[in-house]
Amino acid sequence: MTPQPGFVPHVAELGQGPRKALALHCTLAFSGAWKGVAARIGDRLTLIAPDMPSHGQSADWDGHSSFGDTVFAASLSCLTEPMDVIGHSFGGVTALRLAVERPDLVRSLTMVEPVFFHVGFLENPSTRAGHDTPMGEVMGHCAEGRFEEAARLFNRQWSDAGPRWPQMPEQVRQAMTRAIHVVPSTVDLLCDDSANLMARLDRVAMPSLLIHGATSPELVKATNSGLARRLPNANQVEIAGAGHMAPISHPAEVVAAWSALLGRGGAMAAS
């Protein structure tokens, strides 16, 4: 499969720092999910934050091109020079793919709970059932056109500390319902490594950081641990009290961990 022809992402710029960082959001969110992080690091970095297809202000995914390849190509188009790259959830997997495919353009790599579950399943096979059962429900609803119910279930799975579906603003529910149709198309990349990332992780030699929330599922922690062990130059950080949505719920802690990585790698040494 190939990227969606003609897709050009909507891109937001957050912060006014002297160095650029590419910030890749999670599924069902949009570039604005990085506002809390940008507010705390925007004097040092300018975040280049694209919206994925069917998310934010970007055009819809066409439903048949490779969604993962489309997001990757769109993200790569934003890397007009070497940048620090941060990604959350699906954005974290895209960030990893950028580091594998174009290490010359990734100054440092930060992944907040990347959902590259192929690694987590290898680390702890018992976590697979806990993933496949709820994901099967989401995919079933998508297949039958019940997109609002699919979005509700998916959001509850990954944002269990947030407001319940009926309490969310209608605009937020509509945005999630619009985006949910992309989820079934991501399984091959996330669970089966269709991009062949595992065999090339040695290319990710830049300073790297994996962040997870203390209350996140065991599969997430196994994925982060497995990646940290396989990457040549990676550290792990756990954020107390956080779940999967740490960039939104705990932006100060995410920035503290990210800043430590940037300092370790010398990424902030020059303006």
Residue 78 neighbours by CB under 8 Å, 6+ apart: 9, 11, 22, 48, 50
How remote is the C-alpha of 146 from its chain's centroid?
A: 25
| pLDDT above 70 (res 3) | yes
Residue 147 neighbours by CB under 8 Å, 6+ apart: 141, 177, 178, 180, 181
| pLDDT above 80 (res 223) | yes
**Mean per-residue pLDDT of the chain:** 95
| pLDDT above 80 (res 103) | yes
- The three-state secondary structure class of 204 is coil
Tokens 């950028």 belong to 98
Which pLDDT value is given to residue 162?
75
Q: Return the minimum-mean-pLDDT range out of 141-145, 156-160, 168-172, 229-233.
A: 156-160
Type of residue found at 215: T
Taken as a whole, the chain contains a residue count of 271
Residue ranges, CATH 3.40.50.1820, the chain: 11-123+189-264
Rounded to whole angstroms, how far apart are CA atoms 86 and 164?
28
65, 197, 191, 222 alpha-carbon torsion, rounded to 10°: -150
| pLDDT above 80 (res 88) | yes
What's the token pair of residue 202? Answer: 């040695």
The model's confidence at residue 265, banded by pLDDT at 50, 70 and 90, is low
98, 103, 108, 113 alpha-carbon torsion, rounded to 10°: 30
What's the token pair of residue 149? Answer: 């119910």
**Higher pLDDT pick, 164 / 117:** 117
Which pLDDT value is given to residue 160?
67
| pLDDT above 50 (res 269) | no
Torsion angles phi and psi, residue 106, rounded to 5: -110, 105
Mean pLDDT score, 33-46: 97
Share of the chain above pLDDT 90, in %: 93
Q: Are strands 83-88 and 19-24 parallel, antiparallel or unpaired?
A: parallel
| pLDDT above 80 (res 191) | yes
Rounded to whole angstroms, how far apart are CA atoms 98 and 110?
12
Torsion angles phi and psi, residue 94, rounded to 5: -65, -40
| pLDDT above 50 (res 270) | no
The CATH T-level fold of domain 11-123+189-264 is: Rossmann fold (3.40.50)
Mean pLDDT score, 23-34: 98
Helical ranges in the chain per DSSP H: 35-41, 67-78, 90-101, 117-123, 128-143, 147-158, 170-179, 187-192, 218-230, 246-249, 251-264
Residue 172 neighbours by CB under 8 Å, 6+ apart: none
Which pLDDT value is given to residue 209?
98
| pLDDT above 90 (res 35) | yes
Rounded to whole angstroms, how far apart are CA atoms 155 and 89?
13
Angle between helices 128-143 and 218-230 (to 10 degrees): 110
Mean pLDDT score, 125-139: 95
How many alpha carbons fall within 13 Å on the CB side of residue 57?
Answer: 7
Against a cut of 0.85, is the pTM above it? yes
| pLDDT above 90 (res 146) | yes
| pLDDT above 70 (res 268) | no
Other C-beta atoms closer than 10 Å to the C-beta of 169 total 9
The model's pLDDT over 57-83, given as tens digits with 9 standing for 90+, comes to 999 999 999 999 999 999 999 999 999
| pLDDT above 80 (res 145) | yes
